[in-house]
């Protein structure tokens, strides 16, 4: 049975700043994702705090929110069979140093903070995250 899912992907400020957004989008398209919607947006720090609320007790929360709101990001709704898992495989491990060869974070990530892309980690979070960026 097919299991078409939608997930939220963010091309983070470090990648947008280096003009890697088109390169990263073409990787998703090549991997069979449809980009249903996309928008380039500069978040305020309070927006980033809302987006990353699940991490609010973590020691890296403040830096993370400062960083996500430090420059424009590209948010996308990606659709594919098993999109959530597939996206996470293509992104690679959170820490680019630990990411497999060929993954986006291995290719483009600079550090665990500046790791170029974000992807939803579950169906429930995908719904919340899609709604965060594409409510209207
Ligand atoms: P992301 O997938 O966007 O989700 C939360 C982000 O927190 C993560 O990518 C990393 O960029 C960042 N982060 C910073 N430090 C850590 C850490 N120690 N463990 C996990 N994520 C971290």
Atom of ligand 1 nearest to the CA of 113: 11
Cα angle: 79, vertex 80, 81; to 5 degrees: 145
> 4-41+73-133: CATH homologous superfamily?
Nucleoside diphosphate kinase-like domain (3.30.70.141)
Q: How far is CA 78 from CA 25, 35, 110, in A?
A: 10, 5, 24
pLDDT tens for the chain, residues 1 to 136:
799 999 999 999 999 999 999 999 999 999 999 999 999 999 999 999 999 999 999 999 999 999 999 999 999 999 999 999 999 999 999 999 999 999 999 999 999 999 999 999 999 999 999 999 998 6
Cβ 113 under 6 angstroms from ligand 1: yes
Q: What positions carry a catalytic annotation?
A: 118
Element (H, E) at 123: helix 123-133
pLDDT attached to residue 1? 79
């Amino acid at each position: 049975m097919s299991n078409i899912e939608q997930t939220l992907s963010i091309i983070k400020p470090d990648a947008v700043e280096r003009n890697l957004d088109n390169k990263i989008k073409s990787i998703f398209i090549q991997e069979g994702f449809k980009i249903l919607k996309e928008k380039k947006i500069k978040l305020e720090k309070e927006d980033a705090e809302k987006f990353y609320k699940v991490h609010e007790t973590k020691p890296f929360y403040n830096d993370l929110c400062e960083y996500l709101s430090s420059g424009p990001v590209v948010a996308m709704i990606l659709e594919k069979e098993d999109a959530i898992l597939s996206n996470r495989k293509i992104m690679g491990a959170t820490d680019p140093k630990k990411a497999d060869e060929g993954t986006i974070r291995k290719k483009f990530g600079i550090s665990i903070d500046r790791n170029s892309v974000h992807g939803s980690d579950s169906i429930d979070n995908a719904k919340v995250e899609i709604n965060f960026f594409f409510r209207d």
